[in-house]
Every structure is written in structure tokens, then in C-alpha cells.
């Protein structure tokens, strides 16, 4: 178990190139949500449709929520196909931006000692189908 953790940390720390981008690989605990999820409410108990950065989650239905102390807003991440996040998407780049945060990703990151991300889907049913998975993502450190 300790050896696996050391290998994971070593891989994440190594600079790499993927799809013509420079950055590094990072193993994360991924969950999913939808801006239409009934748990996402504002102070007046209305469905919250804006991300933490003020972007309309309905106009940009796909993105990433993360603890901003681990993955700051604006961080661009490539999620390879095969993990179930928009695998049938026509986008070749598969680049998604951290533009939101939430209590579950903060809690997992700060209490479980893992980097957690929450993948935004356009529908609640799609988010439920994704569930929770441990996946590898590529964090872009330099422009494509």
C-alpha cells in the first residue's frame, strides 16, 4: 500500500507532455454533479445556476469543481477518454476548466488526503450514472 502511494506521488510530480500540453499527471477522486441538482441551492432556496467564479453553469454545462487550495480556479485539466466523462464528446481536446467548488470536494481533499474533483454534467441522471471513481487526469501547466 505504501509503495503504491509512493509510485502515485512520483508519477504526479514528474513533468510530462500529453496532447501537446506540458504539465503533470494527477490521480484524483472524481464525483459528479449537475447545476440542476436539487442540492445546489442559493440563499433563497432557488436552484443555483452560477459557478463559484460566476459563470453560468447552464451556458457552460461541463466543467470541474475542486478545492481551490489544491487546484485553483482557471486550472485547465485534460480528462482522457475511458473514464466515462463525456467519452462520446466530439471535442478532441478534452480540456476542462476548474471554475467551481463544493463542500464534498473540499471535505475529501482536506480530510481524506486525496485530491477530489467534481465533474459538472448537464443533467442529474448523467451525473448519477458517472458516480464516483478514482481517475488519472492531466493538469496543464503551460498553454497548449
Kindly state the average pLDDT of the residues 121-132: 88
Q: How confident is the model at residue 4 (pLDDT cuts 50, 70, 90)?
A: very low
Dist CA 117 CA 122 (whole Å): 16
Helix (H) or strand (E) holding 97: strand 95-100
23, 139 contact by CB (below 8 A): yes
Residue 23: predicted pLDDT = 93
62, 115 contact by CB (below 8 A): no
Higher pLDDT, 132 or 86: 132
* SS3 of residue 119 by DSSP: strand
Domains in the chain, ordered, with CATH?
A: 2-140 (2.40.40)
Residue 98: predicted pLDDT = 92
Higher pLDDT, 138 or 19: 138
Closest CA to 143 of 76, 93, 92: 76
**Looking at the chain, how many residues does it have?**
144
* SS3 of residue 72 by DSSP: coil
Give the pLDDT confidence of 63-95 residue by residue, as tens digits.
898 988 889 999 999 998 888 887 776 556 788
User: How crowded is residue 96: how many other Cβ atoms within 10 Å of its Cβ?
Assistant: 22
Give the pLDDT confidence of 26-66 residue by residue, as tens digits.
999 999 988 776 555 566 665 556 666 666 555 567 889 89
The pTM score is: 0.74
Amino acid at each position: 500500500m505504501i509503495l503504491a502511494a509512493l509510485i502515485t506521488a512520483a508519477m504526479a510530480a514528474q513533468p510530462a507532455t500529453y496532447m501537446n500540453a506540458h504539465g503533470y499527471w494527477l490521480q484524483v477522486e472524481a464525483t459528479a454533479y449537475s447545476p440542476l441538482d436539487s442540492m445546489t441551492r442559493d440563499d433563497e432556496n432557488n436552484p443555483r445556476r452560477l459557478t463559484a467564479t460566476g459563470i453560468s453553469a447552464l451556458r457552460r454545462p461541463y466543467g470541474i469543481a475542486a478545492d481551490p487550495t489544491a487546484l485553483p480556479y482557471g486550472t485547465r485539466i485534460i480528462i482522457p477518454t475511458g473514464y466515462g466523462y463525456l467519452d462520446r464528446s466530439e471535442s478532441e481536446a478534452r480540456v476542462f476548466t476548474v471554475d467551481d467548488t463544493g463542500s464534498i470536494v473540499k471535505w475529501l481533499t482536506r480530510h481524506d488526503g486525496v485530491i477530489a474533483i467534481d465533474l459538472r454534467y448537464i443533467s442529474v441522471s448523467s451525473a448519477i450514472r458517472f458516480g464516483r471513481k478514482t481517475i488519472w487526469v492531466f493538469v496543464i501547466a503551460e498553454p497548449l
